[in-house]
Amino acid sequence: MKPTPPGWPRLSSALYCEDARAAIAWYCKAFGFTVEIVVDAPDGSVMHSELRYGEAIVMVAEGGAGRAPRFGITGRAPRAAGGVNTQTLFLYVDDVDAHCDRAREAGARLTYELADNDYGTDYWCDRSYGCVDPDGHLWWFSQRLRNPPTAG
């Protein structure tokens, strides 16, 4: 496999939000993302943005009801589409307990309370929580507690 462009992960995700500027501010406050860029559309809405958390990048754009299709499809925030999610986002963090407190304080709705998920001695153990952001996107955050044994 060839290397990715400098500073860009192999996989990133893009989210439609009803009010992208508000969502970007919330992701920074609640989840600890930092803003790399925000590109405005001619109408003043957010056409494209890039938010970073370590090496992870999430792109956020406007996607409320009444938005014209982009790239041949109509994109909507889950809240604008009856709450339906077609993806979830998963991110490893260094201190999942502190991260959960921060998200909860910012108004994230927890859908899965903090818990250790131990898949047995042949696998791994993570501490995780799940939450929904104000636009209805489902997020998972985890901290690795134990790695699987190395093959030997």
Domains and CATH numbers, the chain: 13-146 (3.10.180.10)
pLDDT tens, residue order, the chain (152 aa): 999 989 889 999 999 999 999 999 999 999 999 999 999 989 898 999 999 999 999 999 987 666 677 777 777 888 888 888 888 999 999 999 999 999 999 999 999 999 999 999 999 999 999 999 999 999 999 999 999 988 55
Cβ atoms 33, 27 nearer than 8 A: yes
Residue 82 is predicted with a pLDDT of: 87
Residue 129 is predicted with a pLDDT of: 98
Cβ atoms 44, 30 nearer than 8 A: no
Residue 90 is predicted with a pLDDT of: 96
Residue 25 is predicted with a pLDDT of: 98
Q: Write the DSSP string, 7-76.
A: T--S--EEEEETTHHHHHHHHHHHH--EEEEEEE-TTSSEEEEEEEETTEEEEEEE--TTPPPBTTB---
Residue 6 CB neighbour total at 10 angstroms: 5
Residue 72 is predicted with a pLDDT of: 75
Q: What is the DSSP letter of 106?
A: T
Q: What are the residues whose beta carbons fall under 8 Å from the beta carbon of 77, sequence distance 6 or more?
A: 15, 16, 17, 18, 63, 64, 135, 136, 137
Residue 105 is predicted with a pLDDT of: 97
C-alpha distances in Å from residue 7, one per residue of 66, 90, 93 = 34, 19, 19
